[in-house]
Structure 1
């Protein structure tokens, strides 16, 4: 890990400070490559001007689909936007909650699973010790840097990650960075 950190001295893990933005960007990035997610996100920004709950709700489904979003992701973004507008998201309260409590709350929102909730923990709440074991980039990074390209079972990934505690989020970010020259941001 020290070698990876030394390779990228001028970049670091950052938070954007906007809960809706972080969750929306995480939904866009579900189950696709970072490059594809960036492309779709950029089209969404061009379409909406500003990615906000109000803008999502004011934009028709076909326009959102034209950005490259699947029908399902349009539904997820719209549901998230409704939760936000109706005040059913309380990021300020989440600051005091433990990681699992935040995950439990977030996965109750349609379209948000554990991976998306973990991205929120990393990129909005800046939690230092999140290990998103369902993230393909993390799995690939560990395989490439620790196991000569061979993917290992979750139990072995968890065991390796014990070396990074309490900084698993940072280790994850550097592993992502090693695979893609564009820093991962949500």
Structure 2
């Protein structure tokens, strides 16, 4: 099935459509409003940044990215392959992340992976291509599809904040599992990216311990 892109003007329209599909969104949307549509660059450098940012704070990731830019002529696959592993380690990457970064770069240069080709793939094929790389799980792939490729029907159910927000929106006693979350939002298709953006916005703008 062809994918559609979620553009800035589409977000409010998609959320209005969801109010007709889900009474909980219809209740909560007027109280917290429409979130901003966030975007990230697409391509190799962003995928490299995904490796850098895994399991560390945003501030630490920015610092490491800055040191990488100081040490390399460009954050390209060719530059990563040409760099000595110790250079990447000295920038702040763990040895495991050095392996992941080099693996991503080698896959890009060999043609076994093509970041640009993701744009023309279906959602499922793009997720499969990214998760075939070492160091990339489904969450990382789905986040890339949402924020870099602007896909409109993605729900990264492994995200803890997203699941916490969904549990609160649905007034559940416990945070739903990833599988339960995907089932709870099946009827949001084809607007699940808008629904996910709304849940993050809802999570940040409502008290944690009181229902809305």
Same fold, TM-score > 0.5, yes or no: yes
1:116-131 to 2 correspondence within 5 Å?
Answer: 116-131=140-155
Rate the CA distance shift 1:66–1:103 in 2: closer, same or farther, 3 A: same
Aligned to 2:68: 44
Q: Which residue of 2 is the match for residue 98 of structure 1?
A: 122
Query: CA offsets, 1:60-105, max 9 Å, x none?
Result: 2223223332111111111111122233333454333322222222
Q: Secondary structure at the match of 1:133?
A: coil
Task: Please say if residues 146 and 154 of structure 2, whose CA atoms lie closer than 8 Å, have aligned partners that are also in contact.
Answer: yes
The yes-or-no answer on 1:14 pairing with 2:39 is yes
CA contact (8 A) 2:44 2:115 kept: no
Q: Please, which runs of 5 or more residues in structure 1 have no aligned partner?
A: 181-186
Moved more, 66-75 or 171-180: 171-180
Q: Which runs of 5+ in 2 are unaligned?
A: 1-24, 205-212
Residues 117-149 of structure 1 show CA distances to partners (whole Å, capped at 9, x for unaligned) of: 222222332211111122233234434655489
Please give the alpha-carbon distance, in whole angstroms, between the structure 1 residues aligned to 2:67 and 2:103.
20
Does 1:62 pair with 2:86?
yes
1:171/1:68 Cα in 2 relative to 1: closer, same or farther (>3 Å)? farther
Take 1:149 and 1:38, find their aligned partners in 2: how far apart are those partners?
Answer: 37
> Number of residues paired by the alignment?
178
Of 70-79 and 165-174, deviating more is 165-174
2:66 & 2:169 partners in 1: Cα distance?
Answer: 31
| Aligned residues of 1:13 and 1:170 also touching (Cα < 8 A) | no
Indicate the structure (1 or 2) with the bigger Cα radius of gyration: 2
Structure 1 residues 69-148: aligned runs within 5 Å: 69-143=93-167, 146-147=170-171
Give the whole-Å Cα distance in 1 for the aligned partners of 2:49 and 2:34: 27
C-alpha spacing 1:108/1:154, structure 2 compared with 1 (3 Å): closer
Indicate how the Cα distance of structure 1 residues 79 and 155 shifts in structure 2: closer, same or farther if over 3 A, else same. closer
Q: CA deviation at 1:15?
A: 4.0
Q: 2:171, 2:191 → 1: CA distance?
A: 21
Aligned to 1:151: 175
Q: Normalised by the size of structure 2, how large is the TM-score?
A: 0.66
1:20–1:53 contact (8 Å) kept in structure 2: yes
